[in-house]
Chains A and B, each alone.
Chain A
Amino acid sequence: MSDKSPASPQTFRLKGVSCAGCVKKIESALGDVPGVDDARVNLGDKTLVVQGSAAAQDCIAAVESAGYGAEEVRASARELREQQREDEQNHYRQLLWRAGIALGLGIPLMAWGLLTGEMGVHNTFQQMAWGSVGLLTLAVLIFCGGHFFTGAWRAFRHHSATMDTLVALGTGTAWLFSMLVVLVPQLLPESARHVYFEASAMIIGLINLGQALEVRARGRTSAAVEKLLQLQDANARVVRDGDEVDIPIEQVQVGDTLRVRPGEKIPVDGSVVEGESLVDESMLTGEPLPVKKASGDALTAGTLNKNGSLLFKAEKVGADTRLSQIIQMVKNAQSSRVPIARLADTISAIFVPSVMIIAVVAALVWYNLGPDPKVAHMLVVLTSVLIIACPCALGLATPMSVMVGVGKGAENGVLVRNGKALQQATGLDTLVVDKTGTLTEGAPKLTDIESDSDTDTLLQQLASLESRSEHPLAEAIVSAAKEKNLSLSEVTGFEAITAHGVSGDVDGKKVLLGNRKLMQREGIDSGRWHKQAESLAEQGRTAMYAAVDGAVAGVIAVADPIRKDAQAAVQRLKKLGLRIEMLTGDNKATAEAVARQLGIDHVHADLLPEDKEKIVADLQKGGAKVGMAGDGINDAPALARADVGFAIGAGTDVAIESADVTLMRSSLHGVADAVELSRATLRNIKQNLFGAFIYNTLGIPIAAGVFYPITGMLLSPVIAGAAMAFSSVTVVSNANRLRFFNPSHNSSADNGGKK
């Protein structure tokens, strides 16, 4: 992840190194390579670290000439992930093998027991036969289940007990008892001379199989981060001394000039120096339409250059890019604690020793009070309780769902900061929304121009006049003229009349633009235009009169237009049960006009930034669970005060770090997506916890034999083993169902884009 310029140390993974002699040979071989300042082999993790400016190829060649193998270690996030996946694959295969071998012994044994019923030891021949089966089972226990025993032992030394403890105790007890039967049957009552080798082998096999299935399902669970990682390209094309060279992305440095051709991904964050192109940013923002980029515009790593060739300067590389930060944030959120998990936490901390005690108590009850054969019953109960009780599923219930849920959010441009925010978002009942930039576009636009004569002529005159003004509304008029390709004229005698408007001479005509007061001051009768202006003002627009040479020529209106999807989003949020309140620093009339159009009932207008926080606090005092949606920096105190702060369209580093939820897209739909997603995730967690609790809380009494009086049968340890193994698989699979979650509104559809 760090930059690997030739000056920083290079790391190699070594092959075939086994002793101190090898270390010496390799180190001296590298001493002869030019540019190597220092070479050090670590025998422990079989790595070689080289300081100096030597080329990697030379170092590898030197190691090979000494008779060993070496490969360069590049710790980019993607390669790390690839290696992890490989490890996972190996582990999966290993688990399958272990399961196959153990079941290969266990299934025939069980079939034999079921078909012949001869699992007892009553004569020397049976002693010999079962003795050899016992040794075979021991081999299976060591080869296929050895890790349970070593794990249990190490945990035991640390005064802790784990799933391994339960498995080792269960299968170990079954095997030891069976061996006792084989070796000294005369010590036991006739009815208890029964062996349980098949149980040991089957349980080891089933648990390995369960873990194998879990490993596979888990791989799918983390698919979201994988997708993000795949957005990173492995190479970048750097322009050096006029030549374009492909280099590994880890070697790109801040200040490098890079070339991206059409169809290529942007390798690092930067800004355009030359060229023009459309860039598809949907993978990061969820915004379906490509964005036009030209000189000076910012580019984000992982986005796709569509049609033009761009030359750009690298500004952030490696772990500093926005994509890396998003990946990091998703990873952190995926493994953070959700408040609902506390119960499971507490339970699993004391679970295993408790289960051991329960198992012994149940066994003693069966031994003292149970029917014959007492010893056999005692053993079956002891083994079954131990085996069925593994709390793995319980521990997995929340992290698995959060992992999928948070990843799913990232795919939809919703970045959740942690598990707590995810849970709190489910319980919101009020959403306060900052108007400017969230409900509206955030930049005023010319909405209406009405005139008796040609509107373009009037616009041209007004824009020329306003090009001299610094009023924020002036910009809207000027850019409207530019959009129509009207060329502006010289202005003489420009005058800004405070609280009234502006005046000046354009192309020999005296042009006035301002409010009614200005017209009255100049003695111009606004006449029929007055009604027009009133009705525009009622719609929340800022209406102005234009006069040319002493007569009103028309009215124009400027407004901050409502975002295209705001109304649909507000409806959707209401449907989710949220009460929506609007906050704005604008005047009441404008605010209410916007609220009316969007169907928002509660409006707080004329606010100062600090008022926003107070309103959120007041709502909370009234018992509301308040979400706050705003566009970042100036809303920060209110965002922080709210139960869940949604930073909208910000995507700046600060916002990602401070908001509970960051929406990569400037749309209120993101809030609805986030609420829907969090509700779906929490529902999934509850299902998982229920499933896991059912396995453990029902499993234990059943294994202890409470149904014996009714059914006359005990739960076989083999069934207990299967139930335990599949409880985790159930939880992981259920969590995986969340992958198919889709927000109820597909934003790409109404923009005509496709995903």
Chain B
Amino acid sequence: MTSLLINLSGLAAIALTVWWFWLAAKGNKQQSVSVDEKLEIQVKDGVYEPDRIRVSAGEETVLHFRREDASPCAEWVLFPDLEVSAQLGVDQITEVTIPAADAGEYPFHCQMQMYRGTLIVG
């Protein structure tokens, strides 16, 4: 009886992991936030919030990052495909200028790739 319960909960945990981190995460990708003057991207507790940011194609944009996490992981934000990077000060707003880019999705992340986000240019 106990053994059945443990095995079942194990399998349930696997199913949940697959669903939540992969399947649901993909379904969730429609939600994104457009950039405006007031938008602050919080860098805190392992995530960017919001982590899907929409900007217009062919226009230079400025993103405002506010880092609240002192852990070294959060120190840099990198947009590798756009060759943009910035060092974020703790408890400060750092402006990151994104050059005009073609439409598409550009991932951004911290040095260790723990913090992850997507820049949607369209």
| Distance in Å: Cβ of B73 to nearest Cβ of chain A | 8
Contact of B39 with A by CB under 8 A? no
One of A129-137, A147-155, A592-600 contacting the partner:
A147-155
Pair B46/A337 contact, Cβ less than 8 Å: no
| Distance in Å: Cβ of A185 to nearest Cβ of chain B | 15
Identify B46's interface contact among A91, A164, A332, A363, CB under 8 A: A164
| Distance in Å: Cβ of A430 to nearest Cβ of chain B | 27
Pair B14/A331 contact, Cβ less than 8 Å: no
Identify B17's interface contact among A158, A353, A364, CB under 8 A: A353
Pair A396/B112 contact, Cβ less than 8 Å: yes
The CA of A356 and the CA of B21, in the complex, are separated in Å by: 11
List residues of chain B with CB within 8 A of the CB of A350: 22
List residues of chain B with CB within 8 A of the CB of A162: 46, 114-115
Pair A395/B14 contact, Cβ less than 8 Å: no
List residues of chain B with CB within 8 A of the CB of A90: 70
Identify A357's interface contact among B17, B76, B91, CB under 8 A: B17
Contact of B90 with A by CB under 8 A? yes
> 0/1 per residue, A359-394, Cβ < 8 Å to B?
011011001100000000010000000000001100
List residues of chain A with CB within 8 A of the CB of B91: 45
Pair B46/A154 contact, Cβ less than 8 Å: yes
Pair B44/A345 contact, Cβ less than 8 Å: no
Pair B80/A336 contact, Cβ less than 8 Å: yes
Pair B20/A87 contact, Cβ less than 8 Å: no
**B contact face: mostly helix, strand, loop, or mixed:** mixed
Near A by CB (< 8 A), chain B positions 35-77 give 44-47, 49, 51, 66, 69-73, 75-76
How many residues of chain A have a CB within 8 Å of chain B?
56
Given contacts A357-B18, A418-B83, contact A91 B13 (CB under 8 A): no
List residues of chain B with CB within 8 A of the CB of A396: 111-112
Identify B44's interface contact among A154, A214, A364, CB under 8 A: A154
List residues of chain B with CB within 8 A of the CB of A368: 3, 7
Pair A159/B28 contact, Cβ less than 8 Å: yes
Pair A158/B14 contact, Cβ less than 8 Å: no
Identify B114's interface contact among A147, A218, A367, A392, CB under 8 A: A392
List residues of chain A with CB within 8 A of the CB of B78: 335-337
Q: A87-B70, A337-B78, A395-B113 are in contact. List 6 more A-B contacts (CB 8 A).
A: A84-B87, A90-B70, A147-B71, A154-B46, A332-B85, A357-B14
Which 7 pairs across A and B sit closest by C-beta, in order of nearness?
A: A159-B25, A337-B80, A335-B85, A395-B112, A151-B46, A353-B21, A154-B45
- Chain B interface residues toward A at CB < 8 A: 3, 6-7, 10-11, 13-14, 17-18, 20-22, 24-25, 28, 44-47, 49, 51, 66, 69-73, 75-76, 78, 80-81, 83-85, 87, 89-93, 111-116
| 5 interchain pairs, CB-CB under 8 A | A45-B66, A150-B45, A331-B85, A335-B78, A349-B116
